[in-house]
């Protein structure tokens, strides 16, 4: 029953936005019912042992890959129906001269590479849609230098490489969970595949984290390389590198410091690019497909709707803290040797930072993927607060096309802020306790 309920509400989350171009108060309430039903069904679906087996994870991942590659091949052969259906799991693909055009954001880079009129931020650089260039021009210059400006090769290749990396991570860590499958079929992930850019960014980040966590000391320098690559491709990974550096152990901190200094130095040396890129970037909509604190102040929505969204944000965060706060506190009460938290907390804080400082399209929710891959570990998922976090993450991505996503994604940010604060406080108390024990031991030895 819970599986059928999940499927029905998931479908509603995809269909309702077509009938809510300018949602009113009652439509937001309808969206709230959909979100509540999603949360209820997900809570029970996550307990399904069959769906959480590794075989199911492998099988459904392979199915999604084949579905995308087949639909893409048919599109190139002149039959766009299957790709069009698949792309509407996100928000639909872009079109050019009446035809579907995959990797519409990635072409921003590839079209600029070798553009005869040159590459300039804020100016059209051979873009098919005449869009002002709002990316890092050094990426396009690099692609031109290595003669890798084929958008289809880059788009399909980056998706295949990311999928292979995810399968390796799942296999290595025995992460059989339906939560992962739901995430990679959600609107943010599908939209990221279709548009292209964010898939490459998250691939660099995940690869960097894999090398960072490797027990082989010779792998650590590769973590620096890939995290730095992610920070060059997009600006926001600098936040992640900064938080990773803050929470890392001493053995990893020096490598992360190198990655942070390189990334910060690169962008500081060309700070004028940042303001130009931001001014040339389209603002997100408060009616779905975007998230960020700034959306509460958008002039595209009514005061009544804003009031409802703010109240709902606070209510969801308060309910989560009330239900799962004790479980969270209990998890952090004892000494915290679990190194996975030093990756998890920075990831959560990066999402919070993105939410505070920008309004982003939902494909940027892919930053939730590293957090999810940690939270669905079998030993962690048995804890109530972890399961509650996974449910809220999945509800956020599944409802991201609805107008109410402004509230759901914001409540997720508040919950992440609470979790991060509790972890940081526990670490401080643990550090104080260890120092007191050391002092007492030293006094006794004297």
Phi-psi region of 256 (alpha: psi -120 to 50; beta: other; left: phi over 0): alpha
Instruction: Identify the band that residue 298 occupies on the pLDDT scale cut at 50, 70 and 90.
Output: confident
pLDDT at 426: 86
Please count the other Cβ atoms lying within 10 Å of the Cβ belonging to residue 274.
14
pLDDT bin (cut points 50, 70, 90) of residue 102 is very high
pLDDT tens-digit map of 30-55: 999 999 999 999 999 999 888 888 89
CA–CA gap between residue 269 and residue 284 (Å, rounded): 28
β strands within 272-378, DSSP E = 290-291, 360-361
Distance CA(309)–CA(403), nearest Å, equals 10
Classified as helix, coil or strand, 124 is strand
The average pLDDT across 107-118 equals 86
CA distance 59 to 283: 38
Contact 366, 203 (CB under 8 A): no
Give the whole-angstrom CA distance, residue 284 versus residue 290: 5
Query: By the 8 A CB rule, do 29 and 159 touch?
Result: no
Rounded to 10 deg, the angle between the 341-357 and 197-213 helix axes is 150
What is the C-alpha separation between 357 and 370, in angstroms, rounded?
21
**Mean per-residue pLDDT over the chain, rounded:** 90
Locus of tokens 């952090």: 332
3-state secondary structure of 278: helix
- Asked whether residue 134 carries a pLDDT value surpassing 80, the answer given is yes
Q: Which two tokens stand for residue 298?
A: 């958008």
- pLDDT tier, 334 (very low <50, low <70, confident <90, very high otherwise): low
Residue 132 is given by DSSP the state B
Instruction: Report the C-alpha gap between 39 and 392 in whole angstroms.
Output: 7
**pLDDT tens track for 356-371:** 998 889 999 999 999 9
pLDDT for the residue 442 = 54
Average pLDDT over residues 133-141: 89
Question: How many Å separate Cα 99 from the centre of its chain?
Answer: 29
| pLDDT given at position 282 | 75
What are the E-state strand segments in 67-165? 94-96, 99-101
Nearest residue to 312 (alpha-carbon basis) of 399, 406, 386: 406
List the one residue out of 106, 104, 140 whose CA is nearest residue 120. Answer: 140
* Confidence bin at 440 (pLDDT 50/70/90): low
Instruction: Give pLDDT tens digits for 186-236.
Output: 999 999 999 999 999 999 999 999 999 988 888 899 999 999 999 999 999
Q: Is the dihedral of CA 430, 435, 436, 440 positive or negative?
A: positive
């Amino acid at each position: 029953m819970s599986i059928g309920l999940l499927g029905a509400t998931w479908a509603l989350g995809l269909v309702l936005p077509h009938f809510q171009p300018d949602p009113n108060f009652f439509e937001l309430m309808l969206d709230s019912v959909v979100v509540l039903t999603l949360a209820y069904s997900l809570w029970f679906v996550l307990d399904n042992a069959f769906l959480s087996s590794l075989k199911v994870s492998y099988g459904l991942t392979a199915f999604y890959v084949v579905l995308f590659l087949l639909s893409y091949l048919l599109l190139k052969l002149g039959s766009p129906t299957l790709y069009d259906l698949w792309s509407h799991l996100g928000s639909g693909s872009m079109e050019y001269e009446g035809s579907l055009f995959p990797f519409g954001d990635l072409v921003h880079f590839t079209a600029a590479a070798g553009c005869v009129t040159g590459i300039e931020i804020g100016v059209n650089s051979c873009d098919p849609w005449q869009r002002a260039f709002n990316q890092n021009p050094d990426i396009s210059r690099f692609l031109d230098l290595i003669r890798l400006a084929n958008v289809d090769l880059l788009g399909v290749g980056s998706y295949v490489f990311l999928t292979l990396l995810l399968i390796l991570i799942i296999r290595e860590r025995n992460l059989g969970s339906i939560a992962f499958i739901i995430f990679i079929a959600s609107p943010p992930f599908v939209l990221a595949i279709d548009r292209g850019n964010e898939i490459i960014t998250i691939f660099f980040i995940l690869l960097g984290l894999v090398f960072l966590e490797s027990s082989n000391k010779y792998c650590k320098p590769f973590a620096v390389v890939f995290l730095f690559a992610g920070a060059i491709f997009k600006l926001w990974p600098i936040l992640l590198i900064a938080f990773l550096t803050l929470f890392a152990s001493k053995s990893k901190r020096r490598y992360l410091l190198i990655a942070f200094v390189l990334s910060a130095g690169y962008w500081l040396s060309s700070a004028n690019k940042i303001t130009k890129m931001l001014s040339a970037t389209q603002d997100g909509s408060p009616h779905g497909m975007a998230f960020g604190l700034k959306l509460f102040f958008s002039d595209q929505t009514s005061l009544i709707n804003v009031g409802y969204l703010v109240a709902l944000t606070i209510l969801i965060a308060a309910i989560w803290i009330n239900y799962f706060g004790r479980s969270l506190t209990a998890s952090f009460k004892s000494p915290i040797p679990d190194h996975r938290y030093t990756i998890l907390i920075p990831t959560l804080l990066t999402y919070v930072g993105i939410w505070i400082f920008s309004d982003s399209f939902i494909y940027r929710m892919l930053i939730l993927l590293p957090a999810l891959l940690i939270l669905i570990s079998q030993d962690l998922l048995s804890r109530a607060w972890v399961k509650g976090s996974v449910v809220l993450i999945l509800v956020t991505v599944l409802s991201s096309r609805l107008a109410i996503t402004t509230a759901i994604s914001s409540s997720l940010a508040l919950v992440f802020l609470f979790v991060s604060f509790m972890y940081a406080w526990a670490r401080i108390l643990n550090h104080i306790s260890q120092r007191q024990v050391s002092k007492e031991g030293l006094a006794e030895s004297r």
